[in-house]
Amino acid sequence: MTAFYLVIGASHRTCSGSLRDWLATEEAEVPDMLAHLKAAGFEQAVWLSTCDRVEVHAVHPRPLEGALDAAAVMAERLGIAADDLADQLYTYVGDRAVRHVFSVACSLDSQIVGEPAILGQIKAAHRHAAGAGMTGPELEALLQAAYAAAKRVRSDTPIAEGATSIIAAAVQVARDIHGDLGRCAGLLMGLGDMGVLVLEGLKEAGLGRVTIAAHVDRRAEAMARRQGGHFAPWMELDTALAGADIVVTATGLGRYILSRDAVKAALKARRYRPVFVVDAAIPADVDPTVAKLDGAFTYDLADLERVALEGRAGRDAAVRAAWAIVDEAVAAFARERAERAAVPAVAALRAHFEQERRRLLVEHAGLNAAAATRLLVNRLLHHPSEVLRAMAAGTDGGGLPEHAAAERLLFRLFRLDEDAKNETERTESIETGDKRS
């Protein structure tokens, strides 16, 4: 049975940050989600859960049915009807699914193009799927090709430099404002991928204490453990804000979660010591009027990119080059799949020819080479000749177009045009030689 590639998911492009927060899974929960997919009929599937997306990458013989089943698993996690979730999900099948997986692995579908975290997240999801026995040759081929494309994008284009430079810019601005980061406390509000990357960059630069808060407390607690930081309940943000020298927001909820009044109160509690605010969310998390407060230094990702990059032209060229690599890799993957799909037919044809050859040797052991090869050719061509005649006459349910297509295929497979041309050239050569003599 033909297997189709399938992607179904929700990302920062299609659904709210709050829905992604509830749909997202921590690493310890992934085996359970894979078990649900297996129970729904999936044999090859990866459950990819990041702060910016939750997706199922799968192979399925009936992709539309598989998409409904995957949506049902996601809806069950949220405790809602699948129909209520449908308009926030996207589904890709076949080549579109392949191109999407490649674009995600190459960080072309991320909020910040080129961010480095996603490839490691896909590989972790892949390991979980393999551990659950939910990988197979088709899914393995897809993921390995996606990794190869991502490696080419990172080695052949400067696309990764943008995200790295944004993080470096955040570190530089933080040092300009606060000096020694070891004496500073940081607060991460929300768990968007770019926000986590900024936080990790600040930690590597020496940031002292880290506190993490998110709308879903269990996810914030898990992230705090991974980052070696503290957890703050979302309902206690006022206290956490007052103690933060650097605030990174990364919810992308589509509304302002950091208001002017909240920052004003925090500055007062801090005795107006400055606070550096990084809005790492798309859409923005921070009320623009916060920037007007004395002591509040607010930067969004575009501001940091302007600090990091001389201009957009080089960045846009890198993105175009990366997409060109992805499209080339998708086309090559499709060709390789088509070539692999032809192998069983070629093997079957070869086995059939060999079977007829052996049968003839047994039944007509005494024939000389000329007679044996003539008989073998007649046997091999008998059934195809009958089928072609039936197609030409329309007695097999086909007709002339089908017959013409089959005829063209035969000429191509066995180079009959080339043989006819060579025979004509030989005949002309002989005739020319006779005339000369």
Residues 80, 74: Cα–Cα separation, whole Å:
9
What is the pLDDT tens value at each position of the chain, 437 positions in all?
678 999 999 988 887 777 888 888 888 899 999 999 999 999 999 999 987 899 999 999 999 999 999 999 999 998 898 888 888 899 999 999 999 999 999 999 987 788 888 999 999 999 999 999 999 999 999 999 999 999 999 999 988 777 777 888 899 999 999 999 999 999 999 998 889 999 999 999 999 999 999 988 999 999 999 999 999 999 999 999 999 999 999 988 888 999 999 999 999 999 999 999 999 988 899 999 999 999 999 999 888 877 766 445 567 788 899 999 999 999 999 988 887 776 677 778 888 888 888 888 888 887 888 888 888 888 888 888 888 788 777 766 666 677 777 778 778 877 777 655 565 556 556 555 555 54
Cβ-Cβ contacts under 8 Å for 186 (sequence gap 6 or more):
199, 202, 203, 207, 208, 209, 210, 211, 244, 245, 246, 247, 248
Residues 48, 193: Cα–Cα separation, whole Å:
13
Residues 275, 268: Cα–Cα separation, whole Å:
11
Type of residue numbered 421: K
Q: What is the pLDDT of residue 311?
A: 44
Task: Please name the residue that has the structure tokens 């030989």.
Answer: 426
| Long-range contacts of 338-344, Cβ-Cβ distance < 8 Å, separation of 24 or more | none
Cβ-Cβ contacts under 8 Å for 103 (sequence gap 6 or more):
109, 323, 326
Task: Give CA 317 to chain center in angstroms.
Answer: 21
In order of 240, 398, 404, the CA distances from 401 in angstroms are 75, 8, 5
Pairing outcome for strands 246-249 and 275-279: parallel
Burial 351-371 (b: 16+ CB within 10 A, else e): eeeeeeeeebeeeeeeeeeee
Catalytic residues, by residue number, are: 51
Q: What is the pLDDT of residue 70?
A: 96
Residues 240, 248: Cα–Cα separation, whole Å:
12
Helix (H), strand (E) at residue 19: helix 17-23
Closest CA relative to residue 58, chosen from 9, 19, 113, 1: 9
In order of 5, 47, 347, 415, the CA distances from 338 in angstroms are 14, 27, 15, 21
Closest CA relative to residue 248, chosen from 299, 209, 295: 299
285 in Cβ contact with 190 (< 8 Å):
yes
In order of 14, 55, 182, the CA distances from 9 in angstroms are 9, 4, 40
Task: Give bridge partners of residue 58 from the DSSP assignment.
Answer: 6, 45
Q: What is the pLDDT of residue 1?
A: 60
Q: Token digits for 350?
A: 């070869």
